[in-house]
Structure 1
Amino acid sequence: MGGPTQPVDEHICTTCTQDSVDYFNAGLYCSEALLKAFDQHYDLGLTPEFRKIATSFGAGIGAAQCCCGCLTGGVMVISLIAGRSTPEQSETPAFEAAAALHTAFKKEYRSACCRVLTKDLEWGSPEHYAQCQRFVGGMASMVQTILREQLGVEPTHVCAE
């Protein structure tokens, strides 16, 4: 149930995408892996302590298998870049980018719910883990596309191809 593969976009930082997957493979939850990789490639300015905010979104919000941690991690990245600091600022850029990310994820994988995305897999099995790896890589590409196309934001580090 991996869904179709995202077409390769020549503007995607493959290093950021690979780092997201590598951090997941190293034991971070999907939400943590995405936040750490984007922090490094987009200079989000997060300390390791602050990156802990992503932990509870893993495994579908506290292991409840609800909203996919990849999606919540991606939304955190968008919010850090386009979110507002005061009530007077517009939430529109962040809301529109997050909605576009949600729509892209559901279009690609047919659901945003962790439980639905992994329903045919034994939780914690190698197949489940491989499925989540695909989601992490796909989400990293989706976030980068939305950052570039909607928000005009590129990685701050040169990305290897």
Structure 2
Amino acid sequence: MDKQRLIEDVRKKAEGYFQRGEFFCSEAVVHTINELLGWPYPAEIVRMASGFPIGVGKSGCLCGAVSGGVMALGMVYGRVHGEPMKEKMFPVAAALHDHIKELYKSTCCRVLVKDYEFASPERKAHCVRITGEVAAFIAQKLLEDEEIANKIKTLEEVASCKE
């Protein structure tokens, strides 16, 4: 598997879901990573991400793509009642936050979009890029984790398994 190609496929897939209006940012990330992982959760898991777009319910706070990204990381590194916290969860979630903050100077939705008219195609394109960046960052981190990477197939293989 060509890791760079797979990361770019993940980026494009998440961007496409958002660009076409099939999902908002947080939903696009969660759906794309669930797909990348081979659907360990039913497709309905995306519902949990539906309150995060436009900075948590349109409040303009934490970027929805980042929120969705942390949720997607939880699909891999999260826990259930009675389990100890997995040591990778906090560092990889913080790394996502720091990566987006370094690239865009903020993780706050209202700050990220302050230079755009909200309904403009330029603002949407900007948010689509951030969504793709979050999904690609997560894919890269998962591919760097040997335990997880060995379970990941190409998106084409995953799609053919679900049909």
Q: TM-score range by the shorter chain?
A: 0.7 to 0.9
Q: Deviations over 1:42-100 (max 9, x none)?
A: 12422233211101001110011110011011101111100122344134211111011
More moved, 42-51 vs 91-100 = 42-51
Q: Deviations over 1:22-56 (max 9, x none)?
A: 11012111000111111111124222332111010
Tell me how far apart the structure 1 counterparts of residues 53 and 135 of structure 2 sit (CA, whole Å): 15
**Gaps in structure 2 of 5+ consecutive residues:** 157-163
**Gaps in structure 1 of 5+ consecutive residues:** 1-8
Query: Equivalent residue for 1:26?
Result: 20
Query: Equivalent residue for 2:152?
Result: 156
Percent of matched pairs sharing the same residue: 32
CA RMSD across the alignment: 2.0
Offset, 1:107? 0.8
TM, length-normalised to structure 1: 0.85
Indicate how the Cα distance of structure 1 residues 76 and 129 shifts in structure 2: closer, same or farther if over 3 A, else same.
Answer: same
Query: Equivalent residue for 2:139?
Result: 144
TM, length-normalised to structure 2: 0.84
- Output aligned runs, 1:10-89, within 5 Å: 10=4, 12-27=6-21, 28-89=23-84
Tell me how far apart the structure 1 counterparts of residues 76 and 84 of structure 2 sit (CA, whole Å): 13
Indicate how the Cα distance of structure 1 residues 100 and 33 shifts in structure 2: closer, same or farther if over 3 A, else same.
Answer: same
Whose helix proportion is higher, 1 or 2?
2
How many residue pairs were aligned? 152
C-alpha contact (below 8 Å) 1:32/1:51 kept by paired residues: yes
